[in-house]
Each structure stands twice: as C-alpha cells, then as structure tokens.
Structure 1
Amino acid sequence: MKTDITYLGKIIRVDSNVVEVEVCNDIPSSAPIINGRLYKIGQIGTFVKIPIGNILIYGIVSSVSNIPNKADDLSNFGYGSRFLSVQLVGEKIGEEEFEKGIGTYPTINDEVHLVIEQDLFDIYGKKDDGCIEIGRHSSSENLSVYADIKKLVLRHCAILGSTGSGKSNTTVSIVKSIINDYNGSRVVLIDPHGEYSSAFPDAKVFKINDATSPLYIPFWLMNFDELAYFLVNAKPIDDSKPEYRLLRELITTFKKKNNILISGTIDQNFITADSPIPFNVRELWWEMNWWLNATFTTSDRDSQTITTSTQTSKGDYLNLIPASFLPYATNNALPHKSRHGEYYSYEKKILSRLKDSRYDFLFNPGDITGLAPNRDLNDLLNDWIGSESKLVILDLSGVPFEVLDITVGLITRFIYDSMYWGRHETYTGKQRPILMAYEEAHTYLNKNDNNSYSKVAVERIFKEGRKFGIGALVISQRPSEISETILAQVGTFVALRLTNSGDQSIVKSSAPDNLNTLIDLLPALRTGEAIIVGEAIRIPSRVRIKLNQPRPTSDDPDLVKSWNKVHPENIENYKIVVNKIRQQKN
C-alpha cells in the first residue's frame, strides 16, 4: 500500500525484463529508517519488490535518473521526479520459495516497494543439506548467501578477478565450506605456484622433491601423442614421417613386454602405444642409439641385424652408456655403416630429456613402476583421490613451464578416466563425485593454444564430466584468455573486481543470468567482494567473502614495512638463490 513505509513509487513503463519506476515525490527521505535499519533509495544493485496479489516480483535497480528512459514528452513528469530502471529477476508466490524467472509481469501504475532485510531472508532462505555458505550479502551483514553444492560442482564454476581482488581467499572459502560440511567430499586442487598448502594445513599435499609426499607422475601414463610431443617434440601431423610411425611401433613393443602388472595381467592383443603400461625409456633410447651407430658385416639394409653387427660392448642403458661397435670403413670394406638413420633427431632429443633432472618426477616416479614388488597406478589413484583426506593439493611449482601443459593434461585425463571406468563402482565415479580445481587457469587453458593437451582434457570434463561425477572449478585473473568452450559450460560465476574491459565483457557474455546490472559493477567492487550469478545461487547477488586464516601465500608483501628497514649488504647473500635457480629446487 502507498501508506506503507516501504512504498517507493509506481511503474510507468514495462519492457520484456526491465521496468521503469517513478519514485514518489511524497517520500519524506531518500534514506528511510525501517525497523531500525537505514535503507538508501535508488542504490545501484539493490532490490525492489512489486506486489501483485499473492505474488511478489523482485527486481534489481540498474540505473537512476531524473529523466525517464525513452521519454517522448517530458511535460507529463513533474519537477523533481526521480526514475529507476529495474531489471526483473524472479518471483515468490504465496508461501512458496523464491524462484528465478518471471511468470506474471507487472503493469502500469503497479506499486513498487523497497526490499527490507526480512524480504532478503525470504529470498535467500535458510541453509539446507544441499547448500554451502559462500559469504554474506553486501546489503546485510546478517544475511548469509548460500549456493547449491550439486549445481556449483557438477554444473562447474569459475572464480574470476584481477590481481589483488581476493581470488585465492574466495577459493579457500569455497573449498573450506565444502570439506567442512561434507565428510565424504573430495577435492583435487591443481596449484601451479604452491600457494595453497599454507591455507589448508590438514590437506594432503604432493610436491616435487618433497621428502614426505613427493609428486610422481609416471611418463608412461601419457598416451602416444603426449609422449611423442614430450620426448621428441613430434605432433600427430608428423604421422606421415617414417620415424614417427617407427617410434609408435617401438613403444608398443616395449609395452607388450610388461603385460604382467601388479593390478593384473593384460592381454597383449589389447596393448597399444596409448596404453598406460610401464616401459623403460632409457632402453628405448639405447635401442635407437644402437641402430643409429651399429656397424655390420653386410651393406644390405634388410640384412643388417643383431647377428650381423660388430658389437664389441653392449653398454648400459640404465646409465645411458651406448653400445660399442667396430668403426665402419670409409670405403666399401667391412664393416659397413648402419643404414638405419630414421631415429637420428629423435635419439638426441630423448637423451637430452633423460639427462635433464627437472623431469625426474616423470622419468623416475619412485616406486610407481607397475611391477612387483613396487606399486601400480591404483596406488597413485589411492594417494590422489582415494585417501581419507578430503582435499589433495598437487603442488606443481617445481614443474618446468614447458611441460606444465602436459602435466596438467595428464593429471586431468587420468582422473577423468578413473571416474569414467569406475562409474559403476561404489567407492568412486558417480557414487562419490569429485571437484577438480584449476588455479591460474589462463596459463594452460588458453583459447589461442591449439596444441594444448591440458585444454583438451579439461574441456572434456566441462562437456562430459557431470555424467561421471566430475565437476570443475577454474580460477583466473584473465577470463578473456580462457578457452571459450570452458567458459560456455560454466554454470556459476563468482566474479570479483575486474578492471579490464575485455575481461568484463567475457563475464557479461558468458554469465548464465542475463543481468548486466550487477556485471557492470565489477570495476567498482571492493577487495573480497564478488558478484555471484548462475545456477548454484537463487538470485544473482553481490556478496562479501570472509577473510580466511590461515591464508594462502598469494597475499601482497608489506612493502612499506620492508622498505622502511635497512638491509645491510652481504656479498654472500645470493648464493642460495642462484643455486636454486640452477637446480630448479626450493
């Protein structure tokens, strides 16, 4: 009613999803106090309600002016009038719960009222078993905002924001809410910079060269395309080259030798170059080197075999010592030079990889050999997703940048395959879903990288993971660089402050709710404040995320305090730093 203290004005224009409101000139104050609380009239991003019988229609203020939009004749509007543009977002019928979407539209002269705190409680409801708390509503410190956990995880989520906007803290808040509220939850966090272990002291952290929980990813877990790219920088388009096809055949042969594994014996007829079967890559190198450098008692290519070679020493492939042969003659005399030069470029590249200690986590994966008496891939899965720990952090800070893409892709594909092939088991798959979280996603899920193995693997989760119990969360400061396929499948966006117009437009075009009013607020958000839109939240909202302690190590240094100190010069200072650079070890 117009006599209600919440009365705001009347509707003067109705569009498909926007209404124009003329604010009543008789309102005594632009900031009325209702039930002891101050409310600002016409605040951008605040809610209003339109009562129609037993229906309450809710909208969000998108603009304020003293001239109505699309006004043809200003003479009909009184001096001092104020006008609000309101985007309609949902409705509440009787005692039923709030629903997004509009079934009944308001008409001209319908009343518009302020939304007070009690109305917000009616919209957001109480926390139930299927929700987690995201934060507090920016309009009310007493109002918690909840997200539907099923839709947040299985419909995928993105946390986006400029540097310093509070992305890491928001990630910690969401992950903590999940693992604290659900005893059977499991989350795998891909952490390229090693920031999150400090925020989760109880998490299981795997890190390269760690004394207690070293991160191992066996190279033989790669499929052939990944392995060929990693070992010799070859791509599938090279399939027409004989050396590429010979490499495939050689790897397949080596894998078939090791078909009796800890997890079971594999029929050799089903083993291909893509099968995750262990083999010794040093022996692969030795074999290539042998055929390149051997000399023979025959010049005929087809007759150049092990029995016709002049081998004087077998060498030692485990220590990268090649076989020795009698030197070939420079004329037609014996012995003859090898005519098997197909592996010339490949052999040198593999040797270079094997000698690079940065790749030890791939080439020397501890006791994950697949062969008795060591451990197999089932043990690796138990470490990552089958242990009692609800959160596992894979710290990739020691991974060389040039193999970060393949490493993330390999982890993702392995976990995806385990969920797919375990979809009918009681302990995994759809019976126990998992959330994969990808920090700094723009660095390896770049839309412009057409040869990204990680992008292919993660896109597969976004497109098909829901059916097998896999949800994904991407965290990035540059959404404009992330794969469009990934963003198109994101069901819920948690957007913190974004100052770049290109990033803002990506969020605006990708967000599932057509609510540009709130998206337009992105450049003006405070640190730790987010716009949340999408399937997991009842209504698009501006939310304050609580500050978590302990914090991830992504916070800014205390520059003023540091620069106020006197730092005495010491000629010994940078020895440790240089050694770490040289060894690539912390």
Structure 2
Amino acid sequence: MINEITYLGKVINVNSSSIEVEISRDIPSATPIINGRLYKLGQIGTFVKIPVGGLTLFGIVSSVSNTPSLIEVNKYEPDYGSRFLQVQLIGEQLGGDVFKKGVGTYPTINDEVHIVTEDDLRIIYGDHSAGTIEIGKHSSSENLPVYLDLHNFILRHSAILGSTGSGKSNTTAHILKRILNDYPGSRVVLVDTHGEYSSAFGTEAKVFKINDDQSPLYIPFWAMSFDELSFFLVGRQAGSEKPEDKKLREAVVKLKKDNASRLKAGNVNVDFVTADSPIPFDIRKMWYDFNREINATYSEATADKQTKDKEELEAEGDPQKLIPARFKPYSMGAVAPFKSKEQTMYAYEMKILSRLKDTRFDFMFNPGDFYDTTSKHDIDQLLRDWIDHAQRLTILDLNEVPFELIDITVGLITRLIFDSMYWGRHEDYTGRNRAILMVFEEAHSYLPKNESSSHIYGYARRSVEKIYKEGRKFGVGAMVVTQRPSEISETILAQVGTFVALRLTNSSDKNNVQSASPNNMNSLMELLPSLRIGEAIIVGEAINIPSRVRIELVEPRPSSNDPKLVEGWRKKFTVKAEHYKNIVKAWREQKHLKKG
C-alpha cells in the first residue's frame, strides 16, 4: 500500500488518544491529485486513516511541525518542511460496516497512514438517510454534504453560538428551512425577540406580533402562575406572603372558582382550582373590588358593621372602563359617613391600576378573544394557533414587548407549550407522538447565569431549564441561539447535546464550547476565532464526529444584517421637524414606526 497515491507516512508514536505521523519523504507533491480531486497534505482539521488488518482507524490532524514532539530532534535531518503530524483518533470502521465513534484497537509503530478521500469521508458522514437533515458542506470538500441526526439534534437539544456577524441568524434559518422542507409533520416555535425572522420565511411561517392586524400576539394574564402574576402586578417576590399577598391570592382563587363552570374548553371541578390554574378571570373586577373596599364610606363606624348594605354610595362606577365607585366623603368627626377600616390593599390597588392603564401591557391585559369566559375563545384555541397550523413554523415576534416583560413573557410562553405537551404526552397528535422544537433567539438577554438585571428574575430561565432537563421525555426539544455562551445558564449549556459553533473571538465564550467538546477535539476548537462567516464547527450527539462545515446562505435572509453605512452616508438627507416628532411619539407610545 506504500505505493498507493493516498500513502502519507507512518506512525512513529502512539498514546491513548492520539498518534504522531512522520510524512514520507517520497511523496511527489504536497498537493496530490486523487481521482481528479486536489488534496492538501498536513492541513489542520483534515482526516487521515490507518489500516490495521481488516480495521480502518480514522483521525483528525491537530498540529503540524517540522520536528517530532516526542522523539529526539537530532535523530532527524532538518529543513524538510512540515514533516510531522499530530493526529487525534476519532473512530473506526470494521470491514464494510458503518463508521463508529471511539477507538477499540490502536495502531502500532510503523503502521501506514493514508490520506482520506471523499469516498472515505462518505463512510464517516453517511448518506441522506431517513431521520437526517443536511446542515451544510464539509469545509475540506464542497461536494461532501454533512448530515445531522434529527432525533438527537432536536430531543437532545442544541445550541447555535457565534460572535456578532458570524452567521447565527442565517444558520438558524437554514436549519429550520431544512426541517420544514423535509418533514411535513414538523412543528417549530421560534421566540424572536428582535423581529428578524419573518423576512426570511414569508408565507412559510405564521407570525404573531403585538398590534398586528392579522395575527396579533396575545398572552393572557390569567395563564400566569400566581408567583408570575403577583410579581408583575405588585412586585411580590416568590415565597413571601404578607397579609396583602394572602388577600390577593384569595381574590384570584375566588374569581377563578366562579368561572370554573363556564369554561369553553370544558368545565373544571372547583375543588381542583388553585391560584395557579390557567382559568380566565376578570382582573378589572378584582381591582374594582379592592378599590371599593378601600375608598368606601359607611353609615357605621365599626369594621364588622361596614358591609355593602351600609355603604354611602353615590355612583357605581365601571370596572371595565377602570372607573371606581364614588362615595360620599367621610366626615372628620364621630358622625357618618365613616371612612373604611379596610386599608390592607391600599398600595397594591394603586399598583394594579397603574399596570392596567399602561397600554404597553395590552397584549396581556386586553387579550382580545381570550379575556375571560365571556370571550370567544379559551386557551385551547391559543395553543392551536401557536403549535398546530398549516405553516408548521410559528414566529412569536417579541420586538414590541416591553423590556421589563421579556423575562416573564418568554417564561410564560415556554411553560404553556411545555405544559400542553406534558399533559397531552400520550395523545396521537401531540406530545411524544408529535414532538415540537422551541428556538430561543438572543438567549443571553433572558437566560443568564444569574439574575443581575433589575428586569430579569429567572422566570424564563427556570422554564427553559425545565425543557433542557425534562423536555425529551414529553416530546419537547430546544435550541438556544446566542453570541455570548459564557453568559448563558450553565444548566442549559450542560444539557446541550449538539453545538453548532460559528466564529467566537471572545476567549471565555470559546472556552465554554471547548469544555463541552470531547477532550481529543480541543485542537479543532482552537479554530473557532479563525472561522469564516457562515462556517461552523459542529460537535455533539447529532453528528458522527466533530466537523468543520460551510453553511449555505439563505435567501431571503433574516433582517439581522448590518446597516448599509457607506451607502447611507453618501446620500444627502432633508429632515423635517415632524420627522423627529414621529420618533418621540412612537417612543412614548412604545410602538415602532412602520416603514415608509
């Protein structure tokens, strides 16, 4: 076999995970042509093979030098160029069997080492068989597609990582398009915090957006757990239970129990209703009742006699218009009308009112056809809108969600979908029998290691961590997309089965990926800062071996590309006074100006 054109050299050193190869001096060219294909010898990240009887071992070149690393230098003639290769062993093939990761038999000194051709690479990467998607082309061969095992990629979870401008959004869009094109029963929910992806998918996706005329995004307040709702309404911290917290809980439970027999998705036994049950209730009525008991005046002075029939009422008010009831002013002396003795909810009532009046929160407090039991739909229709429709890709555009609500919003979306999959896990049309992929864009902004921000309290992090820890059992897979993996929850990263790592220039981010990859792949991870745009190193359960892959450009692209600075600065602009008035108005109303 030494006479074969693929012959590269011989093994001169072996250890538990790598070998050292001396390149033969008789090789006629550093760029041999094999079967019409040009190969470059000694390139970091390229493959070699070592025939050992009926077994073929495969390895990746990790370093190149003109001196051996473990042999005395003076035994070799100098100046032969790149004469020695360090090779990390990655797997083996026995006879005509499929390639398998891991090494059971090691080469010995003087075993032959050969160049890996495209035909050999196809043995490693396999064909486009059932249950795979094409992620891109191998960087060492434009003709060699690289496939991912879809089951492991989805249900063992994944992460797409890369610095700004490295191609994360394009990679995400490419993967989702492959899934949608190849698998007609697929379901994907994309949490898009910057509104980038609707331009890439067009009619292939159903896009929900705040204030949208066709598909407005609603996330009903009553679907929150009590901890989420009370934190958002009045700033209550989880675990605390002051007298006003207890009163708030009791009011929520009572209103939910009152509606338990009027639900469009089926009535519920009131004995099972808690403050966390996702049951509609009239939150304006709750505020109105709190306001009334605080501000009412009575004909009696003692608390036990201050009942509704003793009120000094002048006008009822209107809960839906947030108009409080009006009472006769209380007197300053010991004569009627008397001031209410019930002032427990004074601070909470004002906080609740301020939330209800804030138009930025209308997508929660005025959720269209999902407000309460008198509305057109129940939460079953909301779930169907999100996860069961013809397009199969749902984009939840959170671009106009107030920053202080991103944490709770993402947490609530995630929990609603997870709970629907959990409780329907044995049904034919959902759960374990029809899995779903949830994609979290810009994940570092709401899934941090710790809650250092004043608006991040861990609601999203806890919900997404639950998917990464338990989602596989109920058919829920997850993918995080981020430019700062070092800032992401360690629990999430620890559960990621497959990393798609594009260019990472920050050392701490690179170290995070490197620590998650096999120990013998560190040399490949060192390439992360030098990757080209749209090029990724993929490592994990969905791919046979860690690989450097080129990912094709998606058209139309997500709207995450840089502004056209030079083109814009070459123009002359005429700016009128009303232009900036429009900006300030949009700023104050928290609504983006529409293009044109």
Shorter chain as denominator, the TM-score bin is over 0.9
Instruction: Please tell me whether residue 242 in structure 1 is matched to residue 243 in structure 2.
Output: yes
1:153 matches 2:149:
no
Using the alignment, how far apart are the partners of 1:513 and 1:143 within structure 2? 26
> Could you tell me how far apart the structure 1 residues matched to 2:36 and 2:79 are?
28
TM-score (norm 1): 0.97
1:77 aligns with 2:83: no
Residue by residue over 1:232-260, the C-alpha shift from the partner in whole angstroms, topping out at 9 and shown as x without a partner, is 11112322x11111111111111111112
* Greater shift in the superposed pair: 334-343 or 283-292: 334-343
- Structure 1 residues 332 and 39, CA, compared in 2 at 3 Å: closer, same or farther? same
Q: How does 1:367-446 map to 2 (within 5 A)?
A: 367-369=369-371, 371-372=373-374, 374-446=376-448
1:66-465 to 2 correspondence within 5 Å? 66-71=66-71, 73-80=72-79, 82-202=83-203, 203-239=205-241, 241-259=242-260, 260-369=262-371, 371-372=373-374, 374-449=376-451, 451-465=457-471
Partners of 1:34 and 1:514 in 2: CA distance: 29
Query: Do 1:262 and 1:372's aligned partners in 2 also have CA atoms closer than 8 Å?
Result: no
Bigger shift: residues 366-375 or 17-26: 366-375
The residue number in structure 2 matching 1:65 is 65
Q: Quote how far apart the aligned CAs of 1:298 are.
A: 3.3
String of CA shifts for 1:40-65, please: whole Å, max 9, x gaps: 21111111111111111111111111
Partner of 1:199: helix, strand, or coil? helix
2:522 corresponds to which of 501, 507, 516: 516
After superposition, the CA RMSD in angstroms is 1.5
Letter in 2 for 1:168: S
| Matches of 1:43 and 1:424, distance apart in 2 | 51
AA partner of residue 501 (structure 1): S
Equivalent position of 1:490 in the other structure: 496
SS at match of 1:436: strand
Instruction: Report the Cα distance in structure 1 between the residues aligned to 2:517 and 2:196, rounded to whole angstroms.
Output: 28
State the Cα distance separating 1:373 from its structure 2 match: 5.9
For residue 31 of structure 2, what is the aligned residue in structure 1?
31
Deviations 1:145-190 (A, max 9, x none): 0001111100101000000000000001100000000010111111
**Secondary structure of 1:427's aligned partner:** coil
Deviation at residue 512 of structure 1 after TM alignment: 5.6
Tell me, yes or no, if the aligned pair for 2:281 and 2:373 is still in contact at 8 Å: no
Measured in 2, the distance between the counterparts of 1:384 and 1:529 equals 32
Aligned residue number for residue 577 of structure 2: 571
Shift of 1:127: 0.4
Greater mean deviation of Cα atoms: 485-494 or 563-572: 563-572
Superposition deviation, residue 514 in structure 1: 4.8
The answer to whether the 8 A contact 1:262-1:370 is kept is no
Deviation at 1:332, TM superposition (A): 3.1
In the comparison of the two structures, how many residue pairs are matched? 584
Native 8 Å contact 1:163 1:477 kept in 2: yes
Q: CA deviation at 1:370?
A: 5.0
For 1:111, give the aligned amino acid. Answer: E
Aligned partner of 2:484 in structure 1 is 478
Q: CA deviation at 1:315?
A: 1.3
Runs of 4+ off more than 4 Å: none
Letter in 2 for 1:333: V
Q: Percent identity over the alignment?
A: 60
In 2, Cα distance between the equivalents of 1:511 and 1:185?
29
Amino acid at match of 1:302: D
Q: Is the 8 A contact 1:162 1:496 kept in 2?
A: yes
Deviations 1:256-308 (A, max 9, x none): 11112111111111111000111111111111111221223333333332233
Residue of structure 2 equivalent to 1:536: 542
CA distance in 1, matches of 2:374, 2:239: 37
The structure 2 residue matched to 1:583, chosen from 577, 584, 589, is 589
Q: In structure 1, the residue corresponding to 2:579 is in which secondary structure?
A: coil
Letter paired with 1:335: P
Confirm or deny: 8 A CA contact 2:88 2:520 kept in the other structure.
no
- Amino acid in the other structure paired with 2:88: Q
Q: Work out which of the residue numbers 547, 552, 558 in structure 1 matches 2:564.
A: 558
Deviation at 1:310, TM superposition (A): 2.2
Q: Given the two structures, how large is their TM-score scaled by the length of structure 2?
A: 0.95
Q: Which amino acid aligns with 2:563?
A: P
> Which sections of structure 2, spanning at least 5 residues, go unmatched?
none
* Between 28-37 and 16-25, the greater mean CA deviation after superposition: 28-37
**Does structure 1 conserve the Cα–Cα contact (< 8 Å) formed by 2:188 and 2:393?**
yes
Q: Once the 2 structures are TM-superposed, how far is the Cα of residue 348 of structure 1 from its aligned partner?
A: 1.1
SS of the equivalent of 1:237 reads: coil
Q: Cα distance, 1:513 vs. partner?
A: 6.9
Deviation at 1:548, TM superposition (A): 0.8
Q: 8 Å contact 1:169–1:552 — kept in the other structure?
A: yes
Which residue type is aligned with residue 128 of structure 2?
Answer: K
Comparing 436-445 and 102-111, the one that deviates more = 102-111
What is the Cα deviation at residue 427 of structure 1? 0.9
Residue type of the alignment partner of 1:465: G
Partner secondary structure for residue 240 of structure 2 = helix
CA contact (8 A) 2:20 2:86 kept: yes
For 1:459, the aligned partner's letter is E
1:146 is matched by which residue type in structure 2? Y
Structure 1 gap ranges (5+): none
User: SS at 2:387's partner residue?
Assistant: helix
Secondary structure, counterpart of 1:515 in structure 2: helix
**Is contact 1:513–1:533 with CA below 8 Å preserved after alignment?**
no
**Any idea what SS the aligned residue of 1:57 has?**
strand
Is contact 2:13-2:70 (8 Å) kept? Answer: no
Residue 13 (structure 1) aligned with residue 13 (structure 2): yes
* Matching residue of 1:53: 53
Residues 438-491 of structure 1 show CA distances to partners (whole Å, capped at 9, x for unaligned) of: 110111111112831011111111100001111001100111111011011110
Rounded Cα–Cα distance in structure 2 between residues aligned with 1:279 and 1:570: 48
- The Cα shift of 1:329 comes to 2.5
Per-residue deviation, residues 398-450 of structure 1 (Å, max 9, x unmatched): 10010011111111000000001101111111111100011101111111128
| Maintained 8 Å contact 1:190/1:438 | yes
Kept in 2, the 8 Å contact 1:48–1:59? The answer is yes
Q: Which amino acid aligns with 1:533?
A: V
Work out the CA distance in 1 between the residues paired with 2:355 and 2:59.
60
Amino acid at match of 1:432: R
